[in-house]
Amino acid sequence: MAAARTVACIGECMIEMTLPDAQGAGARVGFAGDTFNAAVYLKRAAQDLRVRYVTALGTDAASDRMIETFAAEGLDVALIERRADRLPGCYAIVLDGGGERRFLYWRDASAARTLFDPQVTVTFDALDGCDLVYLSGITVAILAPAVRERLVNWLAGFRARGGQVAFDSNYRPALWPDRATSQRAIAALWSVCDVGLPSLDDEMALFGDTDADAVLARLRASGVATGALKRGAAGPLAIGDAPAQAFPPAAKVVDTTAAGDSFNGAYLAALLRGEPQAACLRAGHGMACRVIGHPGAILPKSMF
């Protein structure tokens, strides 16, 4: 794959609250969201890339602080819509003893749900200067159906003009009105995708595939040329040709938040450097193992 100079990561960043444990410890407040998390790890792993975060926020103090956080991570913030009538979404994390998490969301009035609406100033055309666009199933789930359809059409044209699309289906049933709607929307995105970064569990739950081989066959039939099928502790499988390899498990699991997102960021960084598929898979898996060994979605910069 030719090296990309500018990557646009499209989606929603929210206020993240980690609730205290039974002893009252561990409470935290930060900012996170699947495409934002991936953008951070992509930029940290490839400082030479221009990584643009594309979202919509309010004009409130929390939104201001978010944008400051984006900029502090080296992300380009020029394509952030500001809406005086909206606020950022918010969610809370509840962790069990094994580091698995449950989420509680407050996002119905999130500014990000207005992304690319006709009344906004940041349009699809603003992305034309980018080499690669990265988005997720959560990105498309929060968009209005008409905007979602326009997005797929624009991505098809973007690819025809030489752009590349990376996509993680990141299936969250609660964000969709029904399974059939989500199947149609996600299938449409796979049809305009160059780099696939799905998780096995998500694809099996959404499309009813029986195993990893069935998922890989369907993705390849959709035209996805390369990427990784993430399988948690078992390690990723290549979409496309790559030698079989084993992946070491994480040394410890504290919090699995952003495991897939950090994988995506590190994988894309290696891919855009022109590294072979096997090295891209190792980079993604290694980053995910680091992230789940610590609380929260974003590792402190001091750890890099």
Q: Each residue of 22-33: pLDDT tens digit? A: 777 778 888 999
In the structure, what pLDDT confidence band is assigned to residue 93 with cuts at 50, 70 and 90? confident
Q: Where are the beta strands (DSSP E) in the chain?
A: 6-10, 14-18, 28-32, 50-58, 80-83, 90-95, 101-106, 132-136, 164-168, 195-196, 226-229, 237-239
The rounded percent of the chain whose pLDDT value lies above 70 is 96
- Please tell me the predicted confidence (pLDDT) of residue 200: 98
Q: Which residues contact 157 (CB under 8 A, 6 or more apart)?
A: none
C-alpha–C-alpha distance, residues 7 and 138, integer Å: 18
Amino acid 136: pLDDT? 98
- Token pair 């502090």 in the structure block, residue: 72
Q: Name the band, by pLDDT with cuts 50, 70 and 90, for residue 125.
A: very high
261 included as an active-site residue: yes
φ/ψ of residue 132, rounded to 5: -140, 140
Q: 6-303: what CATH class?
A: alpha beta
3-state secondary structure of 200: helix
Q: Point out the least confidently predicted range of 114-123, 213-222, 266-275.
A: 114-123
pLDDT at 97: 64
**Local structure of residue 152 (DSSP, 8 states):** H
Q: What is the pLDDT of residue 26?
A: 72
Residue 302 — very low, low, confident or very high, per pLDDT cuts 50/70/90? confident
Are the beta carbons of 107 and 14 closer than 8 angstroms?
A: yes
Mean pLDDT of the chain: 93
Residue tagged active-site, from 34, 76, 255, 261: 261
Question: pLDDT tens across 139-181, in order?
Answer: 999 999 999 999 999 999 999 999 999 999 999 999 999 999 9
DSSP letter, residue 102: E
pLDDT at 108: 87
What residue segments make up the domains of the chain, in order of their start?
Answer: 6-303
Question: How far apart are the C-alpha atoms of 106 and 248, rounded to whole Å?
Answer: 37
Characterize 124-135 residue by residue with b for buried, 16 or more Cβ atoms within 10 angstroms of its Cβ, and e for exposed: bebbeebbbbbb
Residue 3 pLDDT class (50, 70, 90 cuts): low
pLDDT of 297 > 60? The answer is yes
